[in-house]
Amino acid sequence: MVAFGNPSSSSPEQWRLAGVLLDEMALISPSVTFLPTSDDPRIKRVTDQIIHKPAANPSLEESAELVCVSPRTLSRLFSKYLGMGYGEWKTRSKMVEALKLLEEEVPIKTIAYQLGYENASSFIYAFRKQFGKSPGNYYHK
Distance CA 41, CA 4 (A): 38
Domain boundaries, the chain: 41-137
What percent of the chain stands above pLDDT 70?
Answer: 94
The span from the first CA to the last CA of the chain, in angstroms, equals 36
Rounded mean pLDDT of 106-117? Answer: 95
Read off φ and ψ for residue 78, nearest 5 degrees. Answer: -60, -45
For the structural domain made of 41-137, what CATH number should be given? Answer: 1.10.10.60
Task: Give 9's pLDDT tier (boundaries 50, 70, 90).
Answer: confident
pTM of the model: 0.76
C-alpha closest to that of 54 among 108, 103, 112, 106: 112
pLDDT tens string 37-89: 999 999 999 999 999 999 999 999 999 999 999 999 999 999 999 999 999 99
